[in-house]
Amino acid sequence: MREDHTPVRDDEMQAMLAAKAPGVSFLLRRGPRYDDPATAPLQWEHARNMFSLLRAGVLAQVVPLMDGTDVLGFGRFVVGDRDEAARVLADDPAVRAGRLTVQVLASVSFDASELKG
């Protein structure tokens, strides 16, 4: 853990923002058939699909959320545009069955390693 608690300077923030191209992220929510027992096995197949997309380099990150809200997770695509992301996610078995719904969002991502300390 870093011990540097100094505020990030404006010029650092502007440089980081200027260097980033917009990306594509998504939210996963409970769908209209989430509570249907017939769709329960598709949760495992959804997880398999997410891991397969990670392995294939299509997704950079997938984050399941375990708090029991209607938002079940989010993720970030590596490449592509919103339309391509929507097509990839529409092919997910749990999305096709209505167990999950997705929202595709334009995004920019930063992580701590990008900050000079």
Write out pLDDT tens, residues 19-47. Answer: 988 899 999 999 999 999 999 999 999 99
Q: For residue 106, what is the DSSP state?
A: E
Q: Which of 9, 5, 101, 87 is nearest to 53 (CA)?
A: 87
In a domain, 9, yes or no: no
Radius of gyration of the chain (CA): 17
Return the residue matching tokens 């992301």.
Answer: 85
Q: Work out the average pLDDT over 64-76.
A: 95
Please list the residues that pair with 51 across neighbouring strands: none
pLDDT tens profile 73-96: 999 999 779 999 999 999 999 999
In a domain, 82, yes or no: yes
Q: Work out the average pLDDT over 89-111.
A: 95
* Domain span including residue 99: 41-108
In a domain, 27, yes or no: no
In a domain, 22, yes or no: no
Percent of the chain having pLDDT more than 90? 76
Return the residue matching tokens 């999305």.
Answer: 95
The whole-number pLDDT of residue 117 equals: 57
pLDDT at 1 over 90: no
In a domain, 90, yes or no: yes
Q: Work out the average pLDDT over 54-70.
A: 95
The whole-number pLDDT of residue 112 equals: 80
